[in-house]
Amino acid sequence: MADRYNSSPVNDVTPLLEMRGISKSFPGVRALDDVSLTAIAGEVHFLLGQNGAGKSTLMRVLCGAHHPDAGEIVLDGAPVRLTSPADARRIGVAVIFQEFSLVPYLNLAQNIFLGREPRGILPGTVNHRKMHADARRLLDTLGVDLDTRTLAHELGVAQQQVVEIAKALSQDARILVMDEPTAALSDHEIDRLFARIRALTAEGVAIIYISHRLQEVAAIGDRVTVLRDGKNVATLNSSQATVNELVHLMVGRQVETIYRRKFCEQPGDVVLDVRALDADNGVQGASLTVRAGEVVGLAGVVGAGRSELARAIFGADRVVGGSVRVNGQPLGRGPVSAVRAGVGLVPESRKTEGLALMRSVEDNILVAGLRKIFPSGWYCARAAAHVAADIVSRLRIATPSTGRLTRFLSGGSQQKVVIGKWFAAGSRFFIFDEPTRGIDVGAKAEIYGVIEKLVADGAAVLMISSELPEMVAVCDRAYVVRDKRIVGELTRADLNEANILRLAMHHDA
Amino acid sequence: MRSVPGAAYLLAILVVVFAIFGSGFATMANVLNIGVQSSVLLLLALPMTLIIMTEGLDLSMGAVLSLAGVVLAWMLMHEHGLPIALAAAAGVGLAFGVANGGLVVGLGLPPFVATLGTLGIAQGLALVITGGQSVTGIGDALPALYESRPAGIPFSMAIAVAAFFVFRFTLSQTRFGSYVSALGGNREALVLAGVRANAYHVSVYALGGAMAGLAALLLTGRMSAGHPTAAIGMEFDAVAAVIVGGTSFERGKGSLGGTLIGVLTIGVLKNGLNVLAIPSSLQVASIGVLVIVALVIDSGLKK
């Protein structure tokens, strides 16, 4: 078994690229711990792992954007030092990130040769004729029939990706990193992309391929490296790798109990009842229920549409079909009616959507509940202070006073202020979107404690999380979202990381 | 130019309306008059187009132009000669442009705030230097140059037309031009392409300042004097012309041809209202209306 999980290149092949023992820490996190990766000329090497496993950090090290704390990068058997993206480009590393790097109002030729324009006769000028001819030749080798004078913003996603590939090739890339290249492509476009990838590898380019779509490993991969918690787990030949095995490797160890709560035995009445919900943000046909006393999870990979679903339920994005009922009453349009019906949204980015950072703890706590606390419309400072102080003590928010600006609080305390805001508004149904992102471990347990106390008091919670252990430890049930649809429901008995990953990643399971 | 900005239709309508109702509007003398009046504005609006393309703004241009005009006049009054006086004016403009760029790019201040600050400084300096009075007695060299007619067209128009073509060439044919669009459209891409984005970014603002200094030549020439408040509020007209011409504050989209149309639209509007003897206070309001109508037409055309 050990050998199967340590597939090294055939002996007489010198790897094109070796990353050896790469470690990288950020404050509070060890993102990469002694990670190694080799790439051979002409292979498609998959890099797999859960969110936060270290894939992106490793690729940022490779493209010179992060400097590793330890380890070395070896190219053609010789160590290289990468201090900037320019260094990486010079040795032939090109990265196609998910967010494309095209300039919308420059044409294709200008985009492909950005920063490396052929010189014209006068100083500072560009030889447009040569640039367009070179671009034409590149696009021809890729079998692309696009006018080089087209502006980038006029292209569809698939075409933009082709331009990115052309841009990489124009830099004589020998190692091409593709981050979720098929995320936005149709099946037909994926076929064309794979054909291009095969043509590139036939010319000796090594491709490092990051994807959440595990069935692509068999379709196009040569080898697979799996990362977990910033460490190497395995490198194996893709012919040996089944989807189930890959899921197993990504999940790995039995979940250490990060938190154990008493799960809900007897859920109460239905609080949230969503039926066949369509929204203009792409959510389609979503149906789900949450009962009093339950924590229900919304699982899925980043970009699957969980936040969109939550925003549609809350009324922050426009609903075009289906119904949302809270305590049996249909919700009207917009967040105002959701808040009045007792729904509280704790959004993903608390600093931009959840808090007014330059206002005090008290102001933030009261902002959603003013109408409820002061129905007459007259503000009473003493009553306001009383309500805020009460919530601060109930949630045990670590702040020297209720007058402290929220920007000075820790991440965990900030999150509690956002939750406290909905206490003041009298919410009985809470939507948590990534409630523990960027919060240290101790504070995480406290947030879980708050959630548990909420449901123990008869409230209902819908929780979005990308951290699978958290999902498994905290939720009574979970729905899995993929491509903006709900693709499955997992009851307590079936709720484990492997089942979530299977539902969240299988393209056609 | 790929698409005609909404302002082109407005310009055509305004010309027709004024030609019918304003006696003396459609004369050769008045057409040249519009051209002369629009020249200074075009010199500001051209670099303003590039600055707005980088998702920036320069509110200090009018004040810097006033200050440079005062400096130019003062140097001429003290008989330093036109070339040196012009160099001093351009130098003052350039210094303010570099300062704007440094504040925006180096310190990361919002362009609105940074250039509002330098607006105040430039305006204040102009008033301090002159004690609030006009600087007169600037000799004959500049007025003579201003009254000259190279190739038969008024000097200020010749300068403005030349500047337009230089800017067109720069935006379409040089690396600098591509990078201006990239700074607004996708700055990260420019940085990852190994381009010294900060240096280019500062130089866009520096160019704006230098052009304000150059415009002082025309403004002071026209008035044969330096007035510390001569160009107050002209940045408003410049921004209006750029927006009316279809340049966007987002994604590095911009068109110098559109800006030319925007400048002419404002020039025709002001001139036509004068011909119709409508009070000047209403002219400012009319430019505001013009901006909104042009944008409404543009958003209508998109759909």
User: Each residue of B209-226: pLDDT tens digit?
Assistant: 999 999 999 999 998 888
Facing residue for A110 by CB, picked from B178, B251, B254: B178
Q: Tell me the DSSP string of chain B.
A: --S--HHHHHHHHHHHHHHHHSTTTTSHHHHHHHHHHHHHHHHHHHHHHHHHHTT---TTHHHHHHHHHHHHHHHHHTT--HHHHHHHHHHHHHHHHHHHHIIIIIS---HHHHHHHHHHHHHHHHHHHHTTS-B----SHHHHHHH--GGGS-HHHHHHHHHHHHHHHHHHHBHHHHHHHHHHH-HHHHHHTT--HHHHHHHHHHHHHHHHHHHHHHHHHHHTSB-TTTTTTHHHHHHHHHHHTT--SSTT---HHHHHHHHHHHHHHHHHHHHTT--HHHHHHHHHHHHHHHHHHHHHHH-
Task: Say yes or no to pLDDT of A189 above 80.
Answer: no
Q: Torsion angle of alpha carbons A30, A31, A34, A38, nearest 10°?
A: 180
For residue A462, give how far its alpha carbon lies from the nearest alpha carbon of chain B (Å): 36
As a whole number, mean pLDDT of residues B17-41 equals 87
Facing residue for B192 by CB, picked from A85, A105, A120: A85
Task: Say yes or no to pLDDT of B53 above 90.
Answer: yes
Give the mean pLDDT of chain A. Answer: 85
Q: Are A236 and A223 in contact (CB under 8 A)?
A: yes
Higher pLDDT, A242 or B66: B66
Facing residue for B185 by CB, picked from A86, A103, A126: A103
Size of chain B in residues: 303
Cα distances (Å, whole numbers) of residue A455 to A271, A272, A449, A505, B207: 12, 14, 10, 30, 62
Report CB contact under 8 Å: B192, A101. yes
For residue A66, give how far its alpha carbon lies from the nearest alpha carbon of chain B (Å): 13
Q: What is the largest CA-CA distance in chain B?
A: 59
Write down the residue that tokens 């250490």 correspond to: A256
Report yes or no on B236 lying in a domain: no
Give the mean pLDDT of chain B. Answer: 89
Task: Say yes or no to pLDDT of B207 above 90.
Answer: yes
Facing residue for A86 by CB, picked from B189, B194, B253: B194
Report yes or no on B209 lying in a domain: yes
Distance of alpha carbon A147 from alpha carbon A152, whole angstroms: 11
Distance of alpha carbon A18 from alpha carbon A14, whole angstroms: 10
Q: Is B3 on the interface with A (CB under 8 A)?
A: no
As a whole number, mean pLDDT of residues B193-206 equals 92
Higher pLDDT, B191 or B75: B75
DSSP state, A107? Answer: B
Q: Is B175 on the interface with A (CB under 8 A)?
A: yes
Percent of chain B with pLDDT over 90: 53
DSSP state, A282? Answer: S
Q: Among all residues of chain B, which has the CA nearest to that of A105?
A: B253
CB neighbours of A101 closer than 8 A, spacing ≥ 6?
A164, A167, B186, B188, B189, B192
Q: Which of A105, A128, A131, A171 is the mutation pick for testing B, counting most B CBs within 10 A? A: A105
Give the model's confidence band at A437: pLDDT under 50 very low, under 70 low, under 90 confident, else very high.
confident
Task: Say yes or no to pLDDT of A419 above 80.
Answer: yes
Report yes or no on B125 lying in a domain: yes
Report yes or no on B165 lying in a domain: yes
Report yes or no on B79 lying in a domain: yes
Per-residue model confidence (pLDDT) at position A441? 62
Per-residue model confidence (pLDDT) at position A163? 86
Closest CA relative to residue A271, chosen from A458, A407, A88: A458
Q: Is B189 on the interface with A (CB under 8 A)?
A: yes
Distance of alpha carbon A437 from alpha carbon A29, whole angstroms: 13
User: Each residue of A8-38: pLDDT tens digit?
Assistant: 655 557 788 999 999 998 876 778 999 999 9
Report yes or no on B290 lying in a domain: no
pTM score: 0.72
Report yes or no on B189 lying in a domain: yes
Closest CA relative to residue A481, chosen from A470, A469, A492, A471: A471
As a whole number, mean pLDDT of residues A210-217 equals 83
- What residues of chain A have any CB closer than 8 angstroms to a CB in chain B? 84-86, 89, 101-106, 110, 114-117, 120, 124-126, 128, 153
As a whole number, mean pLDDT of residues A375-389 equals 88
Measured between beta carbons, which residues in chain A are less than 8 angstroms from residue B182? Answer: 103, 106, 114
What topology is assigned to A1-92+174-253 in CATH? Rossmann fold (3.40.50)
As a whole number, mean pLDDT of residues A112-130 equals 90
Q: Which domain holds residue B196?
A: 39-231
Per-residue model confidence (pLDDT) at position B3? 61
The dihedrals phi and psi of B61, each to the nearest 5 degrees, come to -60, -45
Closest CA relative to residue A225, chosen from A71, A30, A28, A22: A22
Per-residue model confidence (pLDDT) at position A509? 40
Per-residue model confidence (pLDDT) at position A440? 65
Measured between beta carbons, which residues in chain A are less than 8 angstroms from residue B258? Answer: none
Mean pLDDT lowest for which of A135-139, A183-187, B14-18, B250-254? A183-187
What topology is assigned to A270-342+466-509 in CATH? Rossmann fold (3.40.50)
Report CB contact under 8 Å: B252, A117. no
Q: Among all residues of chain A, which has the CA nearest to that of B192?
A: A85
Complex ipTM:
0.84
Angle, helices B175-185/B155-173, rounded to nearest 10 degrees: 70
For residue A173, give how far its alpha carbon lies from the nearest alpha carbon of chain B (Å): 14
CA angle A128, A132, A135 (to 5 degrees): 140
Location of each CATH 3.40.50.300 domain in chain A: 1-92+174-253, 270-342+466-509
Q: Among all residues of chain B, which has the CA nearest to that of A168?
A: B193
For residue A119, give how far its alpha carbon lies from the nearest alpha carbon of chain B (Å): 9
Mean pLDDT lowest for which of A155-164, A244-253, B164-173? A244-253
Report yes or no on B43 lying in a domain: yes
Per-residue model confidence (pLDDT) at position B242? 94
